[in-house]
Amino acid sequence: MPNTDAFCPDWASAPGETIGDILRERNFGIDEFAERIGQTKEQVKDLLGGRSAITIGLARQLEQVLGGSVEFWMARDFQYHQQIASPEEVTNAWVRELPFADMVKFGWLKPPSRSDELAACLKFFDVPNVAMWHRLYGPLERKFLFRTSPSFESRPAAVAAWLRQGEIEAEKIRCAPWNAKEFEQPLSSVRALTRERDPKRFMAILSQLCAQSGVATAIVRSPSGCRASGATRFVADNKALLLLSFRYLSDDQFWFSFFHEAAHLLLHSHLDVFIEGIETPNSAAENEANEFASRTLIPPQHHAELLRLRQSKFELVRFARRIGVSPGIVVGQLQYHGKIKPNHFNGLKRRYQWE
C-alpha cells in the first residue's frame, strides 16, 4: 500500500508506475481494475502510461480500490506533472490558475500590460519566480487541492491569492503582541457589535479590539475560484491574521465566521492554516470551532429557550433584543439547528453590498 505521507521525490515517475506495481502485486487485470474505478480500458492504459492526469474524482476511486489517501494520489500526480513540464509551461499554467481579472478588479493589482502580467503577479506574492512560489505555497496546494466538493472545485492558486491579499492588509494593521487571554476577554463586546447595522462602524471597532491582543482582522473579497469565507494563520510569532471574505453578505454568516475563526486562534495549533469553506467540515477542529461560535452567539443559558421559540417574527426579534444580538443571528442559529427552514425569516437578516 502506498505511503500516505507528503510525496516529494527528486525524479519524474508517473503515478501510473505506482498503480501498475500495486495491480501486479494484487493480481489485478486491467479489465477488472477499469471496471472497479469506473474507467474504460483505454483510459486505464493512458493512466498507467502517464498520459492522463488524476482528477479528484479518480483519486477518490483509487483511494477506495487501491488504498492510500486522496491527498497522496493528488500530490503524486501534481508532483509528476510539475517535474515533466518545461519552465515556460509551468509559468503559463501558473498565471492561468490565478484569478487575475478579479485581482485587478478588486484593486490588488494595477492593470498591467499583457507582457507585464507575470512580473505583476510575482511582485504581488513577493517572490522572484514561479519556482519559489511553488516552494512557498506547495503545502497549501497539496493540503487543499483534494478537499473540494464535486460540484465546486476551489483552485489553490485563487485561495493563495486571497490569503496573500489578507497578509498585505494585515501588514497595515499595528497590533500588540499576541495574547490569547486578552483576545478572549473582549469577545463579549464583539458579540454586542452584531446589533450595529453599519459595517464601517462595526469593522472599525472590531479591528481595534482585535489588534489590542495581537490579531489583525481583515476583510478581503474572495475572488473567482476561492470559496473561502474565513481563515486564520499566524503571519508572525506574535501576530495572527483573522481573515474574512464576507462571502455570503449577511450578518448571521459574517459573525458566525468571525467567532468560528476566533475559536481556531484560541483552541488550535498556531502552526496550521485554517480556511473555512475548504476545510473538511466534520473534522474535530471544525466541529469545535462551530460549537464555540454557537455558544458565543447564543450563550448556553439561552440555548433551550432559543430552540423553543415560536416561529413568529415578533418572538424572534424580542428574544434577540433581550439577549443582545441581532435578529439575523437568532434566525441563522435556528436554521443551523434545523428548527426553521433555510428560506424562512431571512428578511430579518441584514444584507450587505460590496462598494
Task: For the chain, give every domain's residue range.
Answer: 15-84, 87-144, 156-297, 298-355
- pLDDT of the residue at 142: 59
- 208: cell is 481595534
Average pLDDT of the residues in 91-112: 90
CA distance 325 to 329: 7
If we measure between CA atoms, which residue out of 353, 350, 355 comes closest to residue 197? 350
- pLDDT of the residue at 150: 40
* Predicted TM-score of the model (pTM): 0.76
Q: Was domain 15-84 assigned CATH 1.10.260.40? A: yes
Write the pLDDT tens digit of every residue in 288-340. 999 999 999 999 999 999 999 998 999 999 999 999 999 999 999 999 999 99
If we measure between CA atoms, which residue out of 283, 296, 294 comes closest to residue 335? 294
If we measure between CA atoms, which residue out of 242, 260, 247, 335 comes closest to residue 297? 260
* Number of Cβ atoms within 10 Å of the Cβ of 229: 22
- 354: cell is 460590496
Instruction: DSSP for 52-113, please give it.
Output: S---HHHHHHHHHHH-S-HHHHHHHHHHHHHHHS-HHHHHHHHHHHS-HHHHHHTTSS----
